[in-house]
Structure 1
C-alpha cells in the first residue's frame, strides 16, 4: 500500500519532466558577453540635450540638401527602422543607387562606417551623404549662409557649441550627437540576459544557441558582440549584378580578400529593416538564413568565414525567431518643429 504514493510521484515526475525541460534556462555568465554597454561618447563631442536638439533639427531639415526637398530622414526613416524599406536607396532626382540604405540604429557603437568603411567616425560619416552628388548634393557654402541667416538656428548652435561657428564641423558634430541617441535596447533578448527567463520563447532561445554555435549557425563569428557586428568586411557570396560588380571594401583597401567584401551590419532591430544585404536581394529574414545555410551563391572570392551549414528546418525557423527577439522597445519619435 505504501508503494502507491511512490509510484504516483514517479509517474507525475515523468509527466512533469518534459515540461521543465521545455522552459527557457537563465543566461550563463558567458551569455552576458552579449549585453549592450553604455553608449560610447567622444571626448570632444559628448551628447548634451542642446546638441541632440540641434542635430535632430538638422537631420530632419530638407533645406540642407541641394534640391531643398531631401533630408537625412528621407532615407533614414524612423518608421522604417531608420532605413527606407527599399532594395537600394533612391538618390537625387530619383536615381536608383547601387547599395541599400543602412540603418542608423546603434551606429554609436560602430568603429567603421558606410558599407565599404570609408568613414572612420560618426561625425565624418554624417557629412558623407550630404556631400555626395547623387545623394543629398548639399551646397555647403549656401547652406551655411542660410543657417546663419536664421536667428532660431543661430541660437541652437550657440547653445550646443558655444564659441564655435556655424559650419561644417559643428553641423557634423550635432548630427552625430543626435544619431548617438538612436539606440536599440531593451529587446526581449536583452531582458532575458538581465535575468527574465520569460522574456523570450523557447524557439528564440534555441535560435540563439544555433546562432552562437560555430559548429551549427556560425553567425556569431561575424555578428559578434553586444551590437552583433565585428565591424569587419566579408564577401558573403552575393551574386554580382551587371557587367561591373560592386567591389565593396576593395575600392578602399585594394587587397584580394576585400573584393566584394562589405561591412557586417548590426542585427539589432533587424526585423524592422528589410529587405536585406547591401543589394536588398533578400526579401525576408528566412531568405537571409537560407542564403547562409547554402554557403552563399557566388563562391569566387568567398570569405573564409562562410561555409555550408547543416541546419534542420527547425533550426532555420528558430534562427528567424531569435532575430525577432533583437527588436528593442522603440520610444515614439516626433518630427521637430524646424526653425524658420
Structure 2
C-alpha cells in the first residue's frame, strides 16, 4: 500500500530524473547536453575534405532534431526559441562549432567567438571587458553564451532580436573581430571544407545569414546540466510529502522509486546546509531574488536598472539606446544564475569581481538614481545570510557538454 501511494504521489509531482532518450523514441530525439552533439567530426588533427564529405553523406546528420532540455532546465521547455525558423541538425551544430572557434572570421585571424565566450571560462571570459582585435576593449563584460536556446533578444541591451543576429554582430564590430561580413564570407568560400558544408546544409551556399544560423545552432546546443540545486528540489519534494518513517521503508517496498530518491540524494550532495539556507533566502521576500531571477533558468529575460555605473559622468544607458524609452535608461538584461560561479567578473560592466560583492550591492539597494528599478530594495541580511546566499548560487552549477575546440577545416 505504501508503495502504491508513493508511486502515485511521485508521479503526480512529476519527479522524473530521466534525461536520456529511450530506445523506443526516434533517432532524431536528443537531449541537449548529449556529448555526441558537440564532439566534432570523428578523427584527429585539422578536418580534411574527405572526413567532411563522409560526415555530410550520412543522412542522420541532416535530420531535424527533436530536442529536449536536461533535467533542471526542462521546466523551461516552453521558452525554447528559434527552432521553427532555424531547425537544429547535427550537421548544422557541427558547422556552427567550427565557426565558433575559428579565428579566420576576424580581420587578422586572431579573434573568434570563443575569445570572449570560452568553454574554459564558463562560456564567458574573466576579463572586465571583451578584448578584440589589436587588444581593443569594449565597455561591457562578455555575457554568457550558454542556455541561449531559452533567450530571444540578445546582448546586455537586447539590441539583437535573435541569436542568429547576435552571432554575426561581432564579426563586423570594429573593436571585436573588426571585419566586414563580405570579407568574412569571401574567406569562408575559399576554404573547401566550409564551402561544401554550407552547400550541403543550406543549399544556397556561404552567406552571412547562414553563418549566423550555424553559429546560433551550435550555441543553442550549449546548456547547463543538472545542478545540486535541481536534485535537492527532488529530495525536498520526497521529504515534504512523506514522513521519514515511510521513506525508511521505501527501499524495501519499491526499489525503483528508492533508486530515484537515492540518486537525488547523491546529486544533492553539493547543496550544503549553508546553500540550503541560502535557497530559502533566495526564494523569499527576505532576499527578493526571484523578482528578476525567476524560472528554471533563473532569469526573467528583462532589463533592469540596478544603479551599476550610474554614478559615472557619462553612464552607459543600456536598453535605452535601443528603445529610446526613458524608463529603460541604465537598464540591462538579467543574467542567469545557473553556473554563475564560473563567470566572474559580474554586472554588465564587469565592475564586481566576486559573488560576495554582488550580494553586497543588492543589500545596500544598488546605487540610487532616477531610473533605479523598483525591484532593487535594501535587504536586511546578516553576514551569515550573505554567505548562505552565495553558497546557494554556487550550488546552481551543473556540467557543460564536452566540446571539441580544435578540429577545423584546413
Q: TM-score, normalised by structure 2?
A: 0.72
C-alpha displacement at 1:30, in angstroms?
A: 11
1:241-288 deviation digits (Å, cap 9, x = unpaired):
643210111111122221111111111110000011011111110110
Change (3 A) 1:45 1:159: same
The answer to whether the aligner puts 1:64 opposite 2:105 as a matched pair is yes
Asked if the contact 2:317/2:330 (under 8 Å) is kept, the reply is: yes
Change (3 A) 1:313 1:31: farther
Equivalent in the alignment of 2:127: 86
Does the Cα contact within 8 Å between 1:257 and 1:303 map onto a contact in 2? no
Listed one character per residue, the Cα deviations across residues 174-230 of structure 1 (whole Å, up to 9, x for unaligned) are: 0000001110121111222344245022221211111111x2000101011111111
Contact 2:117–2:145 (Cα < 8 Å) also in 1: yes
2:215 aligned with 1:175: yes
- Counterpart position of 1:216: 286
The structure-2 alpha-carbon separation of the partners of 1:269 and 1:122, relative to structure 1 and needing over 3 Å to count, comes to same
Q: Give how far 1:68 is off.
A: 1.6
Aligned to 2:26: none
TM-score under structure 1 length normalisation: 0.86
Aligned match of 2:278: 207
How far did 1:290 drift?
0.6
Written as runs of structure 1 = structure 2, the 5 A alignment for 1:1-340 is 35-37=72-74, 38=77, 40-161=81-202, 163-195=203-235, 196-197=264-265, 199=268, 200-213=271-284, 215-240=285-310, 242-340=312-410
Superposed displacement of residue 40, structure 1: 4.8
Aligned-CA RMSD value: 2.2
Aligned to 2:22: none
The question of whether the paired residues in 2 share the 8 Å contact of 1:56 and 1:336 is answered with: no
1:219–1:29 distance in 2 versus 1, CA, 3 Å: farther
CA distance in 2, matches of 1:178, 1:318: 35
Task: Could you tell me which runs of 5 or more consecutive residues in structure 1 were left unpaired when the two chains were aligned.
Answer: 1-25
Tell me how far 1:29 sits from its aligned partner. 5.9
Q: Please, which runs of 5 or more residues in structure 2 have no aligned partner?
A: 1-9, 17-70, 236-263
For 1:30 and 1:331, the matched residues in 2 are separated by 25
8 Å CA contact retained: 1:41, 1:47: no
**What SS is found at the alignment partner of 1:290?**
helix
Measured in 1, the distance between the counterparts of 2:87 and 2:232 equals 30
In the aligned structure 1, how far is the partner of 2:82 from the partner of 2:319? Answer: 26
Contact 2:103 2:112 survives alignment (8 Å): yes
Structure 2 CA distance for aligned equivalents of residues 52 and 159 of structure 1: 14
CA distance in 2, matches of 1:75, 1:81: 10
Segment drifting more, 105-114 vs 147-156: 147-156
> Partners of 2:148 and 2:406 in 1: how far apart?
21
Task: Tell me, in whole angstroms, the C-alpha distance in 2 between the residues paired with 1:238 and 1:323.
Answer: 20
Counterparts of 2:178 and 2:233, CA distance in 1: 44
- Distance change in 2, residues 1:113/1:260 (3 Å): same
The alignment partner of 1:252 has SS state of: helix
Q: Secondary structure at the match of 2:73?
A: coil
